[in-house]
Structure 1
Amino acid sequence: MVKQKITDKLYEFSQDGNSCTILEPRPPRYWYNYLWNENRYCAQISQIGHGRSYYLSEKADMCMINQNDARYVYLRDEEDHSCWNIGEGPLNTKVEDYQCIHSIGCSLLESKYREIKSSWRIFVPCEGFHEVWSLKIKNTGKTKRILSVFSAVSFYLEGFQYPRYYEMYRCMKTGFDQELNGIYCDSSHPFAPHGKYHGFLASSEPVFAYDGDLARFCGSINTLTQPDASACALFQRPDVLMKGLDCTNSEAALFILGGVLQHKFTLEPGEEKEIHLIFGISESLAESRKASAGIQDFQAVEQSFEEAQEYNYRKIQSLSVHTPDEKINHRMNNWVKKQVDFCIVGKKGVRDNLQIAAALLDYRQEKAKDEIMECLSHQFRDGHAVLTWYPYDDTRYSDQPFWIIWAVCRLIKETGDISLLNEKVFWQDGGQATVLEHVRAAVDRLIADKGKNGLVRIYFADWNDALNITTDPEAESVMLSHQFCLALKELRILMEKTGRTDYAGFLEKEYGILKDSINEHAWDGKWYMRALSTVENIGSKNSQGSKIYLNAQTWAILADVADGERLSLTLEAVDGMEHDFGFPLNMPPYPEYSPNVGRMSGMLPGLFENGGIYCHATGFKILMDCKAGRGNKALETLKKIMPDSEKNPSVQSGAEPYVFTNCYSANPGYYGKSYQSWTTGTSAWCLMGLYEGILGVKADYDGLRVEPCFPAAWESAEMTRIFRGARYHMMFKNPKQLEGGAATITVDGERLLSQVLPDFRDGRQHEVQVEIG
């Protein structure tokens, strides 16, 4: 990795963009990396190394392993009792040469304190239910040093529902096991949904002393008492560490359970000590012992690390891009794909998972198919679906059927496998039916859900969870009606491809009826209203509070509902909503709570859904720009919401500079700040916005369609995509620096007469030249 340390920079990317080096241990907030495997074991790593570790079973039963994100490594000089952490926290002792390297497959912390150079690497192996820590401590000075290293975690093992008075801590105990060479936390909870509620922390090296009772390590008054009378240790100034003591070889039951392993050793000048630790869960002590045996062989640890690295890159390498913009290259290659991939870990919601799966289709087709099929199994026979199946929530959100239709069409475009329509999938309420029957049930549901104006009713909410029109149960959603129009168009094309012409004709007729109803009842003169209600139409120039909503405009264009003069007026209305770092969901924000709008209006103006800069919805807008042929606007919009943007850098937003966030605040008291990163659909829509919108490479039933919507500033770009087994390497040229424009395409030296690339399915690489204009 090429790195130049610049003191006024918080971070820098490696040349290939696959690593981000954090140069300061105190960014505006914790900057995390997430590491996980296909067994659904996940470790969250901050720039100081702490964070939560957890496991999700196939049925999404959670086991949160550690409490209060407790994962710490302390070092102590045994001569003067000075103490420090590699990442400075939580002791806050100043160190030198600090850096934290968050990479696609691991995190590495490094620093130096009084001539002791230390590093801490964390990775999650491809197999198992644990993470591996590799510690290296080197004496770079000229005198002998005696050191202690304390590796500390808490044990929590919570995350599932159980009857009152069966709190997990009442069923837990810790003990040191010689064969494990570490602390084992045993649990005997009678209502545990699976067996993996046993934790352990073990070492490759002989343990000098240990503590299983965190009160003995942290001190009896260095605890925080909780309402249930249990306590969790605070790790800022542990007694054992600060007073120059050794661990007490304690074991515990009931309260303040954890694992602390102390290693004490001498380092001669130039000598280095290497220690490997393993932290995770198991079904038994025997399983923990077996897992820990793997870290005794240092060569085997490195092999496991290399396998994890290779796997993490291999699963996302089928899609890549190189543009004239280095910032886009760093974030829109592996980081955005990793983020999309992570959004599916533990997420169990029909709407959310289908959106993420749509983006996964661009590079992890089998994973995307599995997610789509699982979502279909949580659809009811009457066509609607649960909001989430973990935790279970079947509140009547109106938009689930749309995402089902849309995702199935995208899946078949990607695979080209029409026979998928005949696969059997279970219903949430029993029995099973073909995928096509699931899709038709979704269509029938949305038609049956039409209200008095011919638009689809909103029920509790649609895509916007916080838009709850509590005063009118018959209120209709304009956004969802636009989306249904798009679904009807997409499904009609698929039905024609499969020879179901009668049904295709029915869908075309329904599209025309719905489009006319929207334009008759929801057009407000210069933009589309957001919802129709007998009490008050929402998002109208005559509405109380907010006058316009973004999503009602973007989806009108994506679904071809806005045509003629309405198209230009809608685009003008969207442009009028533009903010320095994205687009608000609605404007102006509601000044006070309105029962006609519900939860969103009860938030402070400019926060979250109440006029916040909603990056997820701005992702829809990127594809809208491409649909309208506005490549410059599409790129400009993408860069506005990209991490560490020009107008809202990470030092202001607080968000990590390598992953997308869900929202930015427009409220003066929290201006520009980010709410959450990593787990947001923004990543999926921005990925699709770049690859499918700006570069215009998208799956179609007959092959890979190429319809770029280039920004004029780009003279060239390069992209690789695997489609139906063949690898397409594409070079885009824009010599006249046009915005959008028709493209001339050659494949392996032969000019195409269409914009659909041949469906080779031959496992070979094909060279594609795309010239704009």
Structure 2
Amino acid sequence: MIFNNLKNDTGFYIPMYNKLGFKSYVTPRLLGDIKLDYHTYLLEPTTEIDLTSSFFSRHVSFYVDGKPHFLNGNSESQQTDKIDVELGLLYQKVTRHNKKFQLDVTTFVPLDALMESNVITYQNTTSKTQRLKVIVATPLYGRSADNLRDHRHVTSLLNRVEVLENCVVLNPTLSFDERGHKKNELNYGVYASSPQLSVEGYYPSLEDYVKNGSLQFPKGLDSLVQTGDYVEGKEALGGISFKTIEVKSQEVITLYFNLGINHSKEQLISTFNKYSQSKTIAIAFEEVKTYFTKEVSKLQFHMKNLEYSEKLNYIPIQPILRRFQGNSYLPHHDYGKGGRGWRDLWQDLISMIMYNDSECRSLLLNNFAGVRIDGSNATIIGDKAGEFLADRNNIVRVWSDHAAWPLLTTKMYIDETGDLSFLLETQTYFDDQFTHYTKKTKTKKSTNHQLKIQNDTIYGTVLEHLILQNVVAINNVGSNGFVRLEDADWNDGLDMASKKGETIAFTHFYINNLLVLAELIQKLETPKIELFESLTKLILNKNYSLDIFFDDVHDFTDNKVSIDKEILASELTKKATLVLKQINKYAFMREGGLQSYIDNDGNFLDSSSTLSLTGQTMALLNQTLSKTQAKKVSNVTKKHLFDRMIGGYRLNSNYQDVKMNMGRAYGFAYGTKENGAVFSHMSLMYAYGLYQYNFVKQGREAYQTLVNQAFKDKSVVCLGIPEYFNNEGIGKYLYLTGSATWLLKLLRTEVFGIELSFGTLRLNPKLSKDDFIDSIAVIKTYVHNKPLQVTYHNPKKLEYGDYRIASIQMNGKEVINEFQSIEGDLEVYLDEIV
């Protein structure tokens, strides 16, 4: 993506990573941090406020005829520079022009090295010879993000900084943590070399270099040291000074500027040297582009117009990024310590299923190991397979929506593959000190987080895990008969209604989940289903309460019992029907909109003048409404929440109140984050629900308004779609958002009609006439483990509702619209409805 003459780069950045665990991000001003994990930062950790103001990053000074200019463009004379930016998969190229010179910087992370490469070229664009001096002066942080303000000075006393040829290496003695100090094994390095420049000396100490000045205007330029020197107990600086040279008119000077981390100092230096060769760097750069282009090629679209399609086709990188970056390490994502949340885990798998990732089945099975025997689950997922944690930041919580998502993803996997046998695979249960939906604790727990009876590990089928989660959730109701909100649902900001709060919104989800489970159970060939005894009682015995269930599984000793599958399916259906009656009786408002929540005083949140999008979304998404009800809901929702100027559907009305009886969300300024912003994730799920009811015009308006907002320059969204848009229509929280997955799922399943059910594909396009480019719309995806291109032809420019599939051709032969296998690409011809 090319941004010529970029005027506003506030908020612009691109993340980079490789599968070795190296992570960084970079802005057009070369700001941004570099790390392996929360405790291993090479450059100082940064947040949104640092996107334009910090010098504690990739800082390089260019003294042109004695006057300082900077790689980040922050000198006074550079404020009128023309800046061109190219953002790609996954790299950044920046070209900075002014009357004196042109600076080009290409930044990327090689696939096979724990380092970031910056290739810098300086060109004298005047007609006169210039005197040029280059100084790399990049502060090395080399410790945990905790130490940004916790023992910042004390941890600098641990620093040992060594000067090597073309390189400054920081190797702290300890990793500082008052819970238990560890010997540090990591080396952090800054390297710079040039075919045209020779090193004059080094600045390994930030204090000595700055010397009562600043990084921008240092006063310690006379404190140069040479190779072999060593500094202790000071903040480290990757300072490398090159001798002044004369640069002729139009002459180009190249600088290789690398930053890396390694356990081995020798390996660090070897890597730096390897990537200071033009041929090696060129090959590595092409490998990065090829690798990530291949990753996103698994799902591509040709629709609306070419520019729109190009921007749309960057979005598949977003779920991949979140899989490896979690929800941390980017400017707005400055919370948590890495890893993904439980909800993220399942929604990211949706994209993996669409991408035909070979790891899907094993990862899906592995995820069920995070479910506790009481139906709750671990909330944080570590970097390693099977690594689950009870909480984030030592706060244990239950989100009322967590049990809903695993079935959605599992059903999609079964529909895509036909692999119904997956439900009968077995998995362990997560065990820690928490019981009774985390409200109580126990002293006896396993050492490896696997539930045991004596020394025997307890296993249950995937189906048992799913039934457990959903049955417990739908029985965990408040006084109004809806699922208890607990510590929040999908909206993490609703965290102050744990006593009397209820989520009507996710009650819809659990109703549908019970019906889906009933369908899956009936599809299984086995006549009996095995469940542990307490779960069986919870389903079949009306006098067996959830409190008794929690007591019974506190110290788990249950045996398995068998239930006739028809009886089990029938009981789940009855429960779903009963709860749906409760919604129809109490949750509808006068205009036809739905209540979404009950607050901590036991009162419905909304009145005739307010509305929350979540309740409307979950009702449509889970198809718990009649078409008449759904139509009323869509009309009311647009009236209350649609704002075309900032991206579409707001998350809620303005309640004009902090609402201490609901949660922190209402302390945010209205139109920001979870309080009334256009929250992409919920907006796109709402659009998906509209499409499911064949409200295509409304659904298209919902998602197109959001996507178009993301693609506007004023939104300051570099690539993809953000988590939300604020009141100015500016995108916030880029890249690491589940909304990307839902946009892709919406386009693939509903718009392009790639509908699979238990392994059988049927095409059911809901393309509007404006979705076609020269009467053609194309999707490239995977079906049945094979790449598939489906091309829709609409020569008569018919609108949705006016066309039908007239014929489908595969390999030049006409085929029927039902596919158990795919042997070639599909050409689909649309014509008028007869």
TM-score of the pair, normalised by structure 1? 0.85
Q: Distance in 2 between matches of 1:483 and 1:170?
A: 54
Q: Distance in 1 between matches of 2:223 and 2:100?
A: 23
Q: Distance in 2 between matches of 1:262 and 1:639?
A: 51
Compared CA separation, residues 155 and 364, structure 1 to 2 (3 A): farther
On the 8 A contact 2:717/2:731 being kept in 1, the answer is no
Structure 1 residue identity aligned to 2:827? V
1:707 alignment partner in structure 2: 764
Say whether residues 1:721 and 2:781 are aligned partners. Answer: yes
1:530 alignment partner in structure 2: 596
1:288 alignment partner in structure 2: 268
Q: Distance in 2 between matches of 1:38 and 1:364?
A: 19
2:24 alignment partner in structure 1: 43
2:643 alignment partner in structure 1: 579
Structure 2 residue identity aligned to 1:738? E
Structure 1 residue identity aligned to 2:267? E
On the 8 A contact 1:86/1:112 being kept in 2, the answer is no
On the 8 A contact 2:138/2:239 being kept in 1, the answer is yes
Say whether residues 1:275 and 2:301 are aligned partners. Answer: no
Shift of the alpha carbon at 1:118? 2.8
1:420 alignment partner in structure 2: 422
Q: Distance in 2 between matches of 1:194 and 1:457?
A: 47
2:541 alignment partner in structure 1: none
State which of 344, 350, 366 in structure 1 corresponds to 2:342.
350
1:177 alignment partner in structure 2: 164
SS in 1 for 2:370: coil
Compared CA separation, residues 616 and 105, structure 1 to 2 (3 A): same
Shift of the alpha carbon at 1:728? 1.5
Q: Distance in 2 between matches of 1:153 and 1:424?
A: 52
Structure 2 residue identity aligned to 1:661? P
State which of 233, 237, 243 in structure 1 corresponds to 2:217.
237
On the 8 A contact 2:723/2:737 being kept in 1, the answer is yes
Shift of the alpha carbon at 1:208? 2.5
2:238 alignment partner in structure 1: 259
Shift of the alpha carbon at 1:496? 3.3
Say whether residues 1:338 and 2:338 are aligned partners. Answer: no
Q: Distance in 1 between matches of 2:160 and 2:76?
A: 28
Residues 23-172 of structure 1: matches in 2 within 5 Å?
23-24=5-6, 26-27=7-8, 29-56=10-37, 61-67=38-44, 70-77=56-63, 80-89=65-74, 93-94=78-79, 97-159=82-144, 168-172=155-159
Shift of the alpha carbon at 1:482? 1.1
Shift of the alpha carbon at 1:153? 2.2
1:661 alignment partner in structure 2: 722
Q: Distance in 1 between matches of 2:32 and 2:77?
A: 17
Compared CA separation, residues 566 and 55, structure 1 to 2 (3 A): same
1:21 alignment partner in structure 2: 3
1:569 alignment partner in structure 2: 632
1:632-691 superposed Cα distances (whole Å, 9 cap, x missing partner): 222222222226458xx433x4x224321222233xxxx434332222222222222222
2:408 alignment partner in structure 1: 406
Compared CA separation, residues 743 and 419, structure 1 to 2 (3 A): same
Q: Which moved more, 1:82-91 or 1:593-602?
A: 82-91
Q: Distance in 2 between matches of 1:141 and 1:595?
A: 63
Residues 434-453 of structure 1: matches in 2 within 5 Å?
434-453=461-480
Residues 406-555 of structure 1: matches in 2 within 5 Å?
406-429=408-431, 430-431=450-451, 432-470=459-497, 473-499=499-525, 501-502=565-566, 503-525=568-590, 526-532=592-598, 535-541=601-607, 547-555=610-618
On the 8 A contact 2:420/2:758 being kept in 1, the answer is no
Structure 2 residue identity aligned to 1:486? N
Shift of the alpha carbon at 1:73? 4.6
Q: Distance in 1 between matches of 2:216 and 2:682?
A: 40
Say whether residues 1:305 and 2:291 are aligned partners. Answer: no
Shift of the alpha carbon at 1:414? 3.0
Q: Figure out how many residues of one structure are paired with residues of the other and give that number.
A: 715
On the 8 A contact 1:551/1:585 being kept in 2, the answer is no
Q: Which moved more, 1:707-716 or 1:187-196?
A: 187-196
On the 8 A contact 1:728/1:768 being kept in 2, the answer is no
On the 8 A contact 2:627/2:693 being kept in 1, the answer is no
Q: Distance in 2 between matches of 1:650 and 1:240?
A: 42
Shift of the alpha carbon at 1:266? 4.0
Aligned CA RMSD, in angstroms, stands at 3.0
Q: Distance in 2 between matches of 1:600 and 1:140?
A: 52
Shift of the alpha carbon at 1:420? 3.2
SS in 2 for 1:441: helix
Compared CA separation, residues 496 and 169, structure 1 to 2 (3 A): farther
On the 8 A contact 1:145/1:268 being kept in 2, the answer is yes
Shift of the alpha carbon at 1:214? 1.6
On the 8 A contact 1:515/1:561 being kept in 2, the answer is yes
On the 8 A contact 2:14/2:718 being kept in 1, the answer is no
2:535 alignment partner in structure 1: none
Compared CA separation, residues 606 and 161, structure 1 to 2 (3 A): closer
Q: Distance in 2 between matches of 1:164 and 1:83?
A: 34
Compared CA separation, residues 665 and 467, structure 1 to 2 (3 A): same
SS in 2 for 1:275: strand
Say whether residues 1:377 and 2:369 are aligned partners. Answer: yes
Compared CA separation, residues 131 and 373, structure 1 to 2 (3 A): farther
TM-score of the pair, normalised by structure 2? 0.79
On the 8 A contact 2:117/2:259 being kept in 1, the answer is yes
Q: Distance in 2 between matches of 1:262 and 1:700?
A: 64
Q: Distance in 1 between matches of 2:700 and 2:203?
A: 55
Shift of the alpha carbon at 1:310? 1.0
1:727-767 superposed Cα distances (whole Å, 9 cap, x missing partner): 2111113335222565345141444444x43423xxx6423
Structure 1: state its 5+ residue gaps. 1-18, 223-234
Shift of the alpha carbon at 1:141? 4.8
SS in 2 for 1:637: helix
